[in-house]
Structure 1
């Protein structure tokens, strides 16, 4: 089964990100590990920016249990990118985010993947119900 690049229309939230010189690797394109950093950035920007996550004080925090990325086209500094975000699964204590990386204003993803958070109590790290304000926000980007 061949995986197809998603389009911008399949994402609900977008964050422009500036590539940096240090993002490029010896092959002249952005190194694969940087894409995971972008995934983490757009998810947390969305949550923190909407006031449902305080990385230092929230009693419930998300721990990454799974990530995956497919690459379709190279990205290189100094190209601007836009990270797209949507939610494909919203459980009691977990959420699966869908992510896309788009060069400039291109409509097809250069890379895409997913990122699964399990929400846990900050202190004991046991699974916890996603707080209502966060759940309500996540429903706004649910596919």
Structure 2
């Protein structure tokens, strides 16, 4: 009997502790407001997953920048969302008739030549694909955090 009471008391304490923690967390959240997460950087105002989008998100005081990470053929980690690069780069113009346009089929030296900005607007012509290291440098020493999603593309 004593054990059952002890377990019940333990459960009650755990539940009450959880409720107290939730109340504290909710109160803190209400005081500061929700986190602002810039999806692919400020992708509504600059080409997604580029330095321009990351820098704009930082300038707009986003709490976090969400990015997508893929690995190149030679192992470099780059900031790119889609499994293939036709939608947001000039890859078909630069490398015509390749059997695949997946990030993992190209080296970093090949990808760094791409224009990842013109598709969005001519003002961003020449905006390059950037690496994960570049993203970190762009948010370093700012209040903006990083949410990195590892891409399922291969």
- Which band: TM-score by shorter chain? under 0.3
Max Rg structure: 2
Q: Which has the higher contact order (CA 8 A, sep 6+)?
A: 1
